[in-house]
Structure 1
Amino acid sequence: MSNARARYDRATAELDPPFAIVDLDAFDANSSALIARAAGKPLRVPSKSVRVRALIDRTLARPGWRGIMAFTLPEAIWLAGHGTADDILVAYPTAGRAALRRLATDEKLAATITVMVDSTDQLDLIDALVPPAQRKTVRLCIDLDASWRPLSKVHIGVRRSPVHSPEQAGALAAAIAARPGFRLVGLMSYEAQIAGLGDAPPGRPVRGAMIRAIQARSMPELLARRAAVVAEVRRHAELEFVNGGGTGSVAATAADPAVTEVAAGSGLFGPWLFDGYRQWRPEPAAFFALSVVRRPNADTATVLGGGWIASGETAPSRQPLPWLPEGLKLIGTEGAGEVQTPLIGPGAAGLSPGDRVYFRHSKAGELCEHVNEVHLVQGDRIVDVVPTYRGEGQAFL
């Protein structure tokens, strides 16, 4: 890793932190590894894990990747307007009235974008905004709850859709089929307890064993239930796709015969949360750099800024990880602060004001909410500078 630090220092010698870089060699290697793990099934790139149009374009230009999973409808409309993709699935239901009106009255957008639903209430909202006779046909995808419920009132996984059983999915599909102005084209299920939980968290062997036990029992249940759901939904609609998975479960999800495509995005950047997975660990590819500004004592080096905290449960796992130089760690009583972050460990002794420390974000695309541009590095050179969503004036959530 010392060689990587030297390369990044040479490439960014003229820059003042804070700034973000993406190592294109590592990014492309991760893209290739994900394609290989998908074993021939197309990968859909979740845009929220990237949030840089140039890097989304770079990903979709490679065989093996097809389509975008957007996180809001306004974002999907924006991406479609730029010609980024002609197949965009919005991963979450939307109540944005202006965006829904625009989608429903624009022929090209209606053919490009698929919106997510999990109840007829969402259909009622669209009908109230633009009646069926006054709109284009709206493409729909059902969000299937992929959580594991081994016992009554035991819920393992994220709380997303109320549609859990084949019967519930079939009832919603039948309701969609009976209503004019809608066309059911897809089914999605995100197995967060498998794709989003590292099964080998560093320094936590007991938690790792528990997660592996959960995953070993949850996946067979989901495989059987998802197959039954797909069969039931197909009684009412000709599905174009069945989407599943995430970076942490690409190989396992791709092996499911009921799934036709897999979502994976975080693995392109390789955030540090994915260091806790046994099956595959992406190469670290995205970093942000901060400047050392003072030395409170011989054992501590303090950088300016640093509190780029990830979403999710409030826990140390959501803090950024000091990566280069090696041998640095956060102080437990302070963590990563908005204006300063003290660092300790063997690596702190050799740092002086003006030196850089490279951090890895806990998650992927959230890094890009803090910078207007990303510097693309190959070897020891910056080969391009591209705007993030923020740099293009866009903030979707």
Structure 2
Amino acid sequence: MSRYASLAAATEHLEPPYAVVDLEALGSNARAMAERAGGTPIRLASKSVRCRAIQRQVLAMDGYRGILAFTLPEALWLAEEVEDVLVGYPTANRAALHTLAHDEELARRVTVMVDSPEHLAFIAAAAGEKAAPVRVCLDLDASLHLAGDRVHIGPRRSPVRSADDATALARAVEAYPGVRLVGLMAYEGQIAGVGDNAPGSPVRRTAIRAMQRASAAELRERRADVVAAVRALVPLEFVNGGGTGSLEATGAEDAVTELGAGSGLYSPGLFDTYRGFRHEPAAFFVLPVVRKPTPDTATVLGGGWVASGASGRDRLPSPAWPGGLHLTTTEGAGEVQTPLLGPAAAHLDVGDRVWFRHAKAGELCEHVNELHLVRDGAVVEVVPTYRGEGRSFV
């Protein structure tokens, strides 16, 4: 019996739509990621998981330490049971900052992101008087700039790029007694988040590989210089970098003490386009066939679970099982229905089920209240997603 057939048999008693996580694939992916990291600990990116039960399971494994959260309210919630939570993006939530600064235990466990003096002033004002010191992490821009900075490749994140920029911000922290610099982060999304073996133009693939080699070399040198300069002023506790797509390269940098990753645990569709590794698809959603508009077309209910980012076909979910199905070019994945074509469509009837993979990782959990965890051909546990626990952060 194929893996999909086994998963289908284990969940045949459920009424779709529902979501499934293959625990054997998840565990294999987690171990493979830790091995790829080469001994550098991985801080688990919570936005890529969005399920506390799975976060607990992974954090209990060798090679994982701490959470990389995506909002401060989420971090405060997770810090109820996690000792070390870094918020990966700056916050403008005054109420959450005030809560953080007036709870000594939370202030010890949670670190927030800054990339400008304005962030420091905002944090200090929101914290108010008689506050515990707020731990902050400096966000270094990791994008690649070419042609005298006229060409920008990578996420548009921090304005801090050079050692001078970073030391100026580190010195600015001294003006705020209630703020303490403890870490530095640099996320190279143009390497970690862009597949180098996507289908289509071979010229584009070659260009992506050349860009990533150049970016990795430039960032390795610049990150080392920045870390050395900041460490001369502040005894940093950690330097975070990387992502699922760059664990080997970033983990090998002497300046980096930890990595940030999580998407590879579920191994969504976008991770099929990397040459350097291949993890097992571990997270799926299942939709029922509800009509047959033609003998060779099968239409499922809903399906428009589209991933974030620049719009394109690579952001659409993909039918994974039965094999031989594909979306139409005119309707794609729809809000209320998704017609499917391909050889297998002719053999599907009303009531049959189609298994899909989301293009990205944790966003799948925004559509369901629970995940059905399967191991050894059986559902062993049903656990709530963030949404199932009544939590929606962005």
Q: Normalising by structure 2, what TM-score?
A: 0.98
Look up the match of 1:237.
Answer: 234
Look up the match of 1:6.
Answer: 5
| Per-residue deviation, 1:198 | 0.1
Does the residue aligned with 2:160 lie in a helix, a strand or coil?
coil
Does the residue aligned with 1:193 lie in a helix, a strand or coil?
helix
> Among residues 318, 334, 337, which one is paired with 1:340 in the alignment?
337
> Among residues 196, 201, 205, which one is paired with 1:199 in the alignment?
196
Look up the match of 1:263.
Answer: 260
Q: Normalising by structure 1, what TM-score?
A: 0.98
Does the residue aligned with 2:291 lie in a helix, a strand or coil?
strand
In structure 1, C-alpha distance between the alignment counterparts of 2:200 and 2:117, rounded to whole Å: 45
Check if 1:307 corresponds to 2:304: yes
Look up the match of 1:55.
Answer: 54
- Deviating beyond 3 angstroms after TM superposition, the runs of 4 or more aligned structure 1 residues are none
In structure 1, C-alpha distance between the alignment counterparts of 2:93 and 2:289, rounded to whole Å: 43
> Among residues 206, 209, 216, which one is paired with 1:209 in the alignment?
206
Look up the match of 1:17.
Answer: 16
In structure 2, C-alpha distance between the alignment counterparts of 1:222 and 1:308, rounded to whole Å: 35
Check if 1:378 corresponds to 2:375: yes
Q: Choose 178-187 or 271-280, whichever is displaced more.
A: 178-187
> Among residues 137, 140, 164, which one is paired with 1:141 in the alignment?
137
Say whether the 8 Å CA contact 1:11–1:381 is kept in structure 2: yes
In structure 1, C-alpha distance between the alignment counterparts of 2:189 and 2:361, rounded to whole Å: 16
Q: What is the correspondence of 1:94-109 to structure 2 with a 5 Å cutoff?
A: 94-109=91-106
Q: What is the correspondence of 1:123-202 to structure 2 with a 5 Å cutoff?
A: 123-131=120-128, 133-152=129-148, 153-202=150-199
Say whether the 8 Å CA contact 1:177–1:236 is kept in structure 2: no
> Partner amino acid for 1:375?
H
| Per-residue deviation, 1:208 | 1.3
Does the residue aligned with 1:243 lie in a helix, a strand or coil?
strand
> Partner amino acid for 2:157?
R
In structure 1, C-alpha distance between the alignment counterparts of 2:122 and 2:62, rounded to whole Å: 38
In structure 2, C-alpha distance between the alignment counterparts of 1:332 and 1:127, rounded to whole Å: 51
> Partner amino acid for 2:202?
P
Say whether the 8 Å CA contact 1:177–1:184 is kept in structure 2: no
Structure 1 segments unaligned to the other structure (5+ residues): none
In structure 2, C-alpha distance between the alignment counterparts of 1:172 and 1:351, rounded to whole Å: 60
Look up the match of 1:67.
Answer: 66
Does the residue aligned with 1:155 lie in a helix, a strand or coil?
strand
Does the residue aligned with 1:95 lie in a helix, a strand or coil?
coil
In structure 2, C-alpha distance between the alignment counterparts of 1:168 and 1:305, rounded to whole Å: 48
Identity of aligned residues (%): 60
Cα displacement string for residues 376-395 of structure 1 (whole angstroms, at most 9, x for unaligned residues): 01132000000000000000
Cα displacement string for residues 280-309 of structure 1 (whole angstroms, at most 9, x for unaligned residues): 121100000000111111221100010000
Say whether the 8 Å CA contact 1:110–1:138 is kept in structure 2: yes
Check if 1:293 corresponds to 2:290: yes
Say whether the 8 Å CA contact 2:372–2:379 is kept in structure 1: yes
In structure 2, C-alpha distance between the alignment counterparts of 1:233 and 1:179, rounded to whole Å: 17
| Per-residue deviation, 1:204 | 3.4
In structure 1, C-alpha distance between the alignment counterparts of 2:298 and 2:30, rounded to whole Å: 35
> Partner amino acid for 1:312?
G
Does the residue aligned with 1:312 lie in a helix, a strand or coil?
coil
Say whether the 8 Å CA contact 2:194–2:245 is kept in structure 1: yes
| Per-residue deviation, 1:129 | 2.1
Say whether the 8 Å CA contact 1:301–1:344 is kept in structure 2: yes
In structure 1, C-alpha distance between the alignment counterparts of 2:201 and 2:328, rounded to whole Å: 19
> Partner amino acid for 1:120?
P
Look up the match of 1:26.
Answer: 25
| Per-residue deviation, 1:119 | 0.4
In structure 1, C-alpha distance between the alignment counterparts of 2:94 and 2:127, rounded to whole Å: 10
Distance 1:204 1:25, change over 3 A: farther
Aligned residues: 393
Does the residue aligned with 1:335 lie in a helix, a strand or coil?
coil
| Per-residue deviation, 1:5 | 2.3
| Per-residue deviation, 1:53 | 0.2
Say whether the 8 Å CA contact 2:124–2:176 is kept in structure 1: no
In structure 2, C-alpha distance between the alignment counterparts of 1:149 and 1:93, rounded to whole Å: 22
Does the residue aligned with 2:379 lie in a helix, a strand or coil?
strand
> Among residues 340, 356, 381, which one is paired with 1:359 in the alignment?
356
Cα displacement string for residues 44-68 of structure 1 (whole angstroms, at most 9, x for unaligned residues): 0000000000000000001110000
> Partner amino acid for 1:256?
E
Look up the match of 2:86.
Answer: 89
Q: What is the correspondence of 1:310-325 to structure 2 with a 5 Å cutoff?
A: 310-325=307-322
Structure 2 segments unaligned to the other structure (5+ residues): none
Say whether the 8 Å CA contact 2:220–2:253 is kept in structure 1: yes
In structure 2, C-alpha distance between the alignment counterparts of 1:6 and 1:42, rounded to whole Å: 35
Look up the match of 2:391.
Answer: 394
Look up the match of 1:118.
Answer: 115
Say whether the 8 Å CA contact 1:271–1:364 is kept in structure 2: yes
| Per-residue deviation, 1:166 | 1.1
